[in-house]
Each structure stands twice: as structure tokens, then as C-alpha cells.
Amino acid sequence: MKTKINFRLIQTGLLVGLIAFLLPLSLEAQRKGGQRPSGSKERSSVSKQPGSKDQKSSNRENANQRPSSDTKKQGEKKTGTDQKNAGGQKTGEKSSSGTKTNAGGTNVNVDNSKKNVNIDNSKDVNVNVNRSTVVVANPRPYTRPPYAYGGHSYYCYHPYAYHPYHPFYWGPMWHPWGFFVATLAATAIIVTVANQQYHYDQGVYYVASSGGYTVVPAPVGATIVTLPPGSQTVVINETTNNYYYGGTYYQKTDKGYTVVPPTAGTVVENLPEGGKEVKIGEVTYVKVGETYYQPIQQNGKNMYEVVQVKEDK
């Protein structure tokens, strides 16, 4: 019995010793096998760990380089809109199969057959133009009191009778102020007034501008030999008649027909494109350049009378 117990103690002691001998070797092997080489691989592994600083930087870089699907859709949508605007019409644009396009309140006429472009009529041309917009006083006395408003008096011979302003069309050869053409017709002639050279053709006056010619108001003092077709006789007073075409007034002289300013009280049936209705108190005038026209009725027809404006003192 004692022999068996001793034998078991010996076995147990040997087993414990063996374990004590092998355990350090096993731990050493595990330590060596678990080591990871330092360098770029380790940093790369660390950078892939979620929530790390490097990973956040990488995410930010990727976000900047690759837009999200929403951003991409927005970009595609915007691009489509731009392409549509570039090839089609913009909001508020009116067009016809002819030549006129209204974009954003600016009048733009494009005549593909003549390569003419009408720029905004409200813009002044930067040239020395003697505008025919200064009204000349009429020697006839006024029988009606003026309309007074805002420190000014507006004199007319006829009673006020409002009717809407509708520009008159004088034909394809007439153009409003600001109209641009690349070339002039062979019938154009040169007219010089106050050292300024103009080109005249069928009732329209041009000055040379970049790449072509721009329509300007008829310069006072310009003389032509023949009146443009469609000119009308207008009564100034009992002894004087002038001639009117496209917003321009002519007086017969020894050399032909000379451009003169409008005379107060002159009555015309049609006003050119480029005018605008102006509300002054309770009266609506049509202003062409700096000249005011009062809507009136004469012999049952809608007409316009040149207004003389005086500042109250």
C-alpha cells in the first residue's frame, strides 16, 4: 500500500516538474510568434481600425474626392438645366418664328437673313449725338391752361384723351435707336453734322461702332435731298408745315430737307418703337427720348401732340 502511494507521488512530482519545465518554453514561443514587425504595415493596420484618427482623416479625404449620391444628383440636375437654357428659351422669354426675342425685359431682335441685332433701345450710344428731342416753342398762343404737377407745367393745344401707346412699324428698313447692323446697304450715304460723321439710309441714321453700325437719333442739322418713303406732312402753325417720319422731323430748305427739333403743338398719328408711357400726376404721357407726347383725339382718330414743358418759377 505504501509502495503504491509512493509511486503516485513520484508520478505527480515528475508531472509537475515537466509542466514547470515546458510552461516557460511555451510562453516564450507564444511571445515570439505574436510579435508583429514595425513599419508601414502596422500603421496601415492601425489606420483601418474604426474610430481612429487616421481613419477619420481618410474618411474626410474620401468624402471630398467622391461626392455622395445626393450631391451627384444635384449636379446632374443643375447641368441639365444649364444645357436646357443654353439650347432653349429662358423663363419669360418670348420668341417667334420670325426675328424677335424678348429676354429678361431687354428687346433683342435677330434677323438671320440680314444679320441685324437690335440691342436694348433704352441704352444710349456713346457718341456725340445732337439729339432731336429739344422741343421748340410754338409762336401760337395757348388757349388752354397747362397741366401743372410737380413743379412743372405741361402745355398743349388739345384736351387730354388717353389711349394706349402702340409703336408704329415703318417697314423692314426702319430701325429704332440702338439697333445694330453688321453692314449697311449700298444706298447708304454719309452725312456730317458738327464734325460727327453719320450714315443715312431710308430715314435711319447710323454711326460706326465696333463690328458694325448702330442706329442713333436723327442729328439736328442733318440735310438730305429726298424724304424717306412714307413721310407725312405735319402742321406747325398757319404758315408752316414740316415733315415727319419715324420720330424725326424735317423742314424744307434750299439744300433739301433738314432735321429739326419737334415743335410744341405738332400733332402726329404714330410714334416709334422705344417710347414709354410716363405717369405724371393723373395724366399719362408717352416719352420718346426726352420729348413728351400727350394722347389726344383729332377728327375721331387717336393722335399725339408734342408737349411743351416749362419749369414753374
Instruction: Pick left, alpha or beta for residue 290 (phi over 0 → left; psi -120 to 50 → alpha; otherwise beta).
Output: alpha
Question: For residue 164, what are the domain limits?
Answer: 121-311
Strand partners of residue 100: 109
At 145 the pLDDT is 96
How far apart CA 166 and CA 270 sit, in angstroms, is: 8
What is the DSSP secondary-structure string of 97-128?
SSSEEEETTEEEEEETTTTEEE--TTSPPSS-
At 7 the pLDDT is 61
Span 143-164, pLDDT tens digits: 999 999 999 999 999 999 999 9
Q: Tell me if 112 is assigned to some domain.
A: no
Rounded to 10 degrees, what is the CA torsion of 295, 296, 300, 303? -50
Q: What is the pTM of this model?
A: 0.60
Q: Tell me if 59 is assigned to some domain.
A: no
Q: Which of 165, 301, 177, 285 is nearest to 232 (CA)?
A: 301
At 50 the pLDDT is 43
How far apart CA 140 and CA 135 sit, in angstroms, is: 14
Rounded to 10 degrees, what is the CA torsion of 38, 39, 45, 47? 130
Q: Tell me if 305 is assigned to some domain.
A: yes
How far apart CA 209 and CA 215 sit, in angstroms, is: 10
The amino acid at 64: N
Residues of the chain with pLDDT under 70: 1-11, 16-18, 20-133
How far apart CA 195 and CA 213 sit, in angstroms, is: 18
In 35-159, which ranges are continuous DSSP H helix? 40-47, 53-65, 69-87
At 185 the pLDDT is 95
Q: Tell me if 294 is assigned to some domain.
A: yes
Q: Tell me if 182 is assigned to some domain.
A: yes
Q: Tell me if 16 is assigned to some domain.
A: no
Total number of domains in the chain = 1
Output DSSP code: residue 70. H
Q: Tell me if 7 is assigned to some domain.
A: no
How far apart CA 264 and CA 137 sit, in angstroms, is: 5
At 28 the pLDDT is 62
Instruction: Pick left, alpha or beta for residue 239 (phi over 0 → left; psi -120 to 50 → alpha; otherwise beta).
Output: alpha
At 42 the pLDDT is 39
At 239 the pLDDT is 85
Give the angle 313-134-129 at the CA atoms, nearest 5°.
135
Q: Tell me if 209 is assigned to some domain.
A: yes
